[in-house]
């Protein structure tokens, strides 16, 4: 358990953006692993199994009311809503490079957790889990266009928030 607990907790914490919920989900994932201990004991893919289980549990937790959420998200919207109407954000070469490493990591984690759920979840799946836009759309049960828009907006929001912190810190 000790070898995997940081990975399991990180996965849950980054998806939910909430440490207390992440701890509950991690506990459930390890209990599930305990139930399947005989199969996992000798399996070389135990880490991957745990990652899949914790991701699925985090989804279940986040989208407990998925049908209701999907119903509202599929309501007819303004035609231009999915289009990229925001002005382009001129990304710097690095973010918070002047801060020391621990401080920078803590700030990035905090800002990531503060993104709205519909931006944070696809962003985490894309950048940490290397899922494609299409795979994310299938997993979340939303349209490909929405996934792309949410990820783009999430990136911009995160970069802007970190830029603001840099200005405040300097």
Partner 1 sequence: MTESNDSQQKLEQLIHRTLRELPPRKAPRTLEMRVLREIERRNAPASSSVAFTSWPLVGRAAFILVCIAMAKLSLVATSWGASRVLEALRFIPLNWVIGVLVFAAAMYAALFSLGAIAYRTLSIER
Q: Which is nearer to partner 1, 65 or 128 (CB)?
A: 128
Q: Which is nearer to partner 1, 140 or 149 (CB)?
A: 149
Neighbours of 45 (CB within 10 A): 10
Least separation in angstroms between residue 88's CB and partner 1 is 5
Least separation in angstroms between residue 79's CB and partner 1 is 20
Q: Are 82 and 145 in contact (CB under 8 A)?
A: yes
Q: Which is nearer to partner 1, 5 or 36 (CB)?
A: 5
Q: How many Å separate Cα 71 from the centre of its chain? A: 22
Least separation in angstroms between residue 153's CB and partner 1 is 11
Q: Which is nearer to partner 1, 142 or 157 (CB)?
A: 157
Instruction: Give dist(CA 150, CA 119) in Å, integer.
Output: 5
Q: Which is nearer to partner 1, 62 or 119 (CB)?
A: 119
Instruction: Give dist(CA 46, CA 40) in Å, integer.
Output: 6
Instruction: Give dist(CA 101, CA 103) in Å, integer.
Output: 5
Least separation in angstroms between residue 30's CB and partner 1 is 5
First-to-last C-alpha distance (Å) of the chain: 41
- CA proximity to 6, closest of 36, 50, 52, 41: 50
Helix or strand (DSSP H, E) at 112:
helix 101-114
Interface residues toward partner 1, by CB under 8 A: 1-2, 5-10, 13-14, 19, 23, 26-27, 30-31, 34, 67, 84, 88-95, 105, 108-109, 112, 123, 127-128, 152, 155-156, 158-159, 162
Least separation in angstroms between residue 80's CB and partner 1 is 16
């Amino acid at each position: 358990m000790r070898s995997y607990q940081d990975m399991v907790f990180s996965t849950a914490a980054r998806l939910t953006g909430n440490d207390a919920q992440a701890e509950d989900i991690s506990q459930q994932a390890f209990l599930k692993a305990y139930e399947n201990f005989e199969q996992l004991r000798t399996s070389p893919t135990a880490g991957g199994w745990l990652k899949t289980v914790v991701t699925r549990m985090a989804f279940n937790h986040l989208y407990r009311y998925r049908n209701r959420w999907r119903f509202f998200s599929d309501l007819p919207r303004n035609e231009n809503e999915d289009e990229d109407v925001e002005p382009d954000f001129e990304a710097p070469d690095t973010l918070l490079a002047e801060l020391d490493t621990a401080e920078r990591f803590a700030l990035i984690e905090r800002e990531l957790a503060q993104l709205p759920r519909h931006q944070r979840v696809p962003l985490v799946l894309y950048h940490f889990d290397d899922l494609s836009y299409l795979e994310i759309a299938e997993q979340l049960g939303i349209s490909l266009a929405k996934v792309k828009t949410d990820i783009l907006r999430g990136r911009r929001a995160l970069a802007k928030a970190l830029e603001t912190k840099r200005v405040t810190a300097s």
